[in-house]
Amino acid sequence: MIPLVYYLAGAIALYIIGMYCLASKRNMIRLVIGIEILMNAAHLTFIVFSAYRTVGYIDPLGHAIVIMSIVFAGCVTAVALTIVTYAYRHYGTLDVRKLRRLKG
C-alpha cells in the first residue's frame, strides 16, 4: 500500500495550486476553476483518510461527506458562472482587471 503521506502531499499541492490560481489568474472562468481545485483538494483528503482509517475497510462517513460536498461545489460553480455571464454581457470581456471600479 502506498504510504498516506504521498496522498496528503498531493492534496496539499492541489490546495496550493488552487490558491495560486486564485491569486494570479485574470480570466474569470479560471478563477471559478481555481475554486473547484480547492474543493477537490479537500475531497481527496477525505477519501484518503476514509481508506486509511482501518486497513482493509473503507469508512463510509468520508464518502458520504464527499458526495454531498461535490453537490455544493456544483452549486457554487453554477452561481459563479451565472455572475460571469452577466459580467461578460456587461463588459464584453472576462478579464478580471477590467472589473476594478470598486476599490478597497
Partner 1 sequence: MFTEPLDVLLIFTVATPVVGWVAYRKAYRKILGIYVALGLSVTAYFLYELYREVAEKGVVLIVGQLPFNPPLGACLEIDMLSVFMAFLYTISGLFAAVYSIKYMEHDTGLTEYYTLLLGMIAGMTGVAFAGDFFTLFVFWELMCLTSYALVAFRKQRWESIEAGFKYLIMSAAGSATILLAMSFLYGMTGTVNFAALATSLNNATPDGWLYVTLTLIIVGFGIKAAIVPFHTWLPDAHSAAPSPISALLSGVMVQTGAYALIRILILVFGSMQSMWQMTLAIFAVFTMFGGNIMALSQNDLKRLLAFSTIAQMGYIIFGLSMASLSGLTGSLFHIMNHAIMKGLLFLCAGSFIHQAKTRDLRKLRGIRKTMPLTSAFFAIGVIAIIAIPPLNGFWSELMIVMAGIEAEMIPFSALMLANMIFSVVYYIRVLRMILLEKPTAVSKKATEAPAAMLIPTLILAALCIIIGVYPEPFITMASRAAEALLNLQTYIGSML
Which residues here bind partner 1, judged by CB under 8 A? 11, 15, 18-19, 22, 28, 31, 34-35, 38-39, 41-43, 45-46, 48-50, 52-53, 59, 61-62, 65, 68-69, 72, 75-76, 79-80, 83-84, 86-87, 90-91, 96, 99, 101-102, 104
Other Cβ atoms less than 10 A from the Cβ of 100: the count is: 8
First to last CA, the chain: 50
Say how far apart CA 63 and CA 58 lie, in whole Å: 9
| Lookup: cell for 45 | 483528503
Shortest separation between residue 30's beta carbon and partner 1, angstroms: 11
Shortest distance, CB of residue 89 to partner 1, whole angstroms? 9
